[in-house]
Amino acid sequence: MKFYSLVFAVLAAAAVSVAKPPYQDQIPKLTTNDLAQGKKIFVGQCALCHGIGGTGGRGPALNRPDLPRAPDNRALFSLIKNGIPDTEMPEAWQRTDREIWQVAGYVRSLGRTAVAKLPGDPNRGRQVYDSKGGCGTCHIIGGIGGSVGPPLSDIGARRSAAYLREALDNPGASVPEGFLVVTIVKKDGQKVRGMRLNEDSFTIQLRDASGDFHSFRKLELAEVNKEPGVSTMPSYRDVLSTSEIDHVVAYLAGLRGGK
């Protein structure tokens, strides 16, 4: 009887050992091959948002030694594995823990990549932003500005310099995922155009260029015209000189959310 009890205990312990994820509770030592595999996964599944080499795009740049949402390796593993709720960052449900550690290791290696020096002057960029650019009308930085456009206090940590330059030159090409301009036509002929804030089967809510909020019952509308790939932000291609755009990009790229 004691023999069978001993066998049962051994088998139970082995089952627990097998069921426990091998990399979740420990940080493995990654080889050069692990980092190469992590890069392969990153390029295939992460670079669309974070850019090749982690330079940033729709998602934040990762080629920096400090990542605000991942102060240590365990936090980075958890972020990749579970994603970030209510954001564009999905969970990696299709990846094993080993693969997630490989990606995490590759991301950490990007922090040792030298960040290219931008040609513009951040101080002059701030002056252009506040004056000729008129950007504060729609965007908030440090609690100051309008709320029609997205806040920019940490835009440098979330977007690459290339993305920022494209947003100034051709805003429609850099529309964030989930951003949608909609023109509403009511049954009395009145039109309202703005950014969609929320929509369900029965209602739709917009914020217009003046920052005013509108809510409509769809049964009361004649048309709901959606404009994917369109931005309410104007192009600065013919408003700012090349050097002024350089300065604004340098200013925005330096905004990391700090005081």
Q: What pLDDT was estimated at residue 71?
A: 87
From 95, 87, 86, 82, select the one nearest 42 (Cα to Cα). 95
The pLDDT of 240-247, averaged and rounded, is 96
Q: Can you tell me whether residue 10 is helix, strand or coil?
A: helix
**Six token digits for residue 74:** 């365990």
Contact 162, 55 (CB under 8 A): yes
Q: Residue 244: what residue type?
A: E
Q: Is a pLDDT exceeding 70 seen at residue 8?
A: no
From 97, 88, 84, 102, select the one nearest 41 (Cα to Cα). 102
Contact 218, 203 (CB under 8 A): yes
Q: What pLDDT was estimated at residue 147?
A: 81
65-119 pLDDT per residue, tens: 778 888 889 999 999 999 998 888 999 989 999 999 999 999 988 876 555 689 9
Q: Token pair 């954001």 is at which residue?
A: 87
Q: What pLDDT was estimated at residue 60?
A: 85
The pLDDT of 191-203, averaged and rounded, is 93
Quote the percentage of the chain above a pLDDT of 90. Answer: 50
Q: What pLDDT was estimated at residue 26?
A: 63
Q: How far is CA 70 from CA 54, 76, 80, 116, 233, in A?
A: 15, 5, 10, 23, 32
Rounded to an integer, what distance in angstroms lies between the CA atom of residue 170 and that of residue 245?
12
Q: What pLDDT was estimated at residue 20?
A: 43
Q: Is a pLDDT exceeding 70 seen at residue 25?
A: no
Q: Is a pLDDT exceeding 80 seen at residue 187?
A: yes
Q: What pLDDT was estimated at residue 230?
A: 87
Query: Domains of the chain by range and CATH?
Result: 23-110 (1.10.760.10), 122-174+236-253 (1.10.760.10), 181-227 (2.30.30.100)
Q: Is 92 exposed, middle or buried (0-12, 13-18, 19+ CB in 10 A)?
A: buried
Contact 65, 111 (CB under 8 A): yes
121-170 pLDDT per residue, tens: 999 999 999 999 999 998 999 999 988 888 898 888 777 888 899 999 99
Rounded to an integer, what distance in angstroms lies between the CA atom of residue 60 and that of residue 200?
29
Query: Using CA of residue 159, residue 163, residue 101, residue 28, what is the dihedral sign?
Result: negative
